[in-house]
Amino acid sequence: MLAVDRADFCPDNPYVDSSSPLGYPGVSINSPHTHARCLELLHGNLSKGSSALDVGSGSAYLTTCMALMVGRMGKAVGIDLVEDMVEDSITNIKKSHQDLLDSKRIKIVSGDGRIGYAPRAPYDAIHIGVSLEAVPQQNGVCFFSYWEQLKPGGRLIAFVGPSEGSQVLQQYDKQRDGTIKKTEVERLPVDG
């Protein structure tokens, strides 16, 4: 995180430890401590040469951090539904990290993140930055379309709960046999 200047990605109060609106309805950047916690949880899956997906990438701050963590041979993809936000995030990256775009270590796309981003799958790490009301169920088992895009040994983290209230940061680890192990990491107040 020290290698990525938050001011390039957050227009208002970039160094205050709170979420901040990004100029689009319902879109904000999470607080630095929330980003730090997410990177801490994904750290083992963001090693040199790994691949990462950031769903609801917003200003691309976290995606840029991920791209640096996976190194020259790694890849990070950010996907966001708001097309103008995607254009803004590319502009943000160009401010200090044009090399990540030139080398294709980072790719920012507009699209429905609920279905992931198959062209660069499978991923070692997936971060879902948008809050989920609930984790989808299939035959009584939690199910995401992301499971197919997550490598065995991969980790997905997501904020689950109502967008206006307390949420749970959940961690999902895909076992070598393809099964998913869920861990409730912590309860959090809504952070944007």
The full DSSP string for 147-185 is GGGEEEEEEEEEEES-TTS-EEEEEEEE-TTS-EEEEEE
Question: DSSP 3-state assignment of 22?
Answer: strand
Rounded to the nearest 5°, which phi and psi values hold at 111?
170, 175
29-130 has which CATH code?
A: 3.40.50.150
Record the pTM. Answer: 0.91
pLDDT at 77: 98
- What pLDDT is attached to residue 129? 87
Q: Report the pLDDT value the prediction gives residue 136, as an integer from 0 to 100.
A: 59
- For 159, other C-beta atoms within 10 Å of its C-beta total 23
- pLDDT for 113 equals 86
Q: Which of 167, 171, 141 is nearest to 45 (CA)?
A: 171
Exposure on the CB side of residue 156, measured as CA atoms within 13 A: 29
Domain limits of the chain?
29-130, 160-192
Predicted confidence at residue 160, as pLDDT, reads 84
pLDDT at 189: 60
CA distances from 52 to 105, 113, 146, 148, 186 (A): 10, 13, 12, 14, 22
> What's residue 192's pLDDT?
42
pLDDT in 10s for each residue of the chain, 192 residues: 999 999 999 988 999 999 888 988 878 888 999 999 999 999 999 999 999 999 999 999 999 999 999 999 999 999 999 999 999 999 999 999 999 999 999 999 999 888 889 999 999 999 998 877 766 555 555 556 788 899 999 999 998 887 676 788 899 999 999 888 989 888 766 544
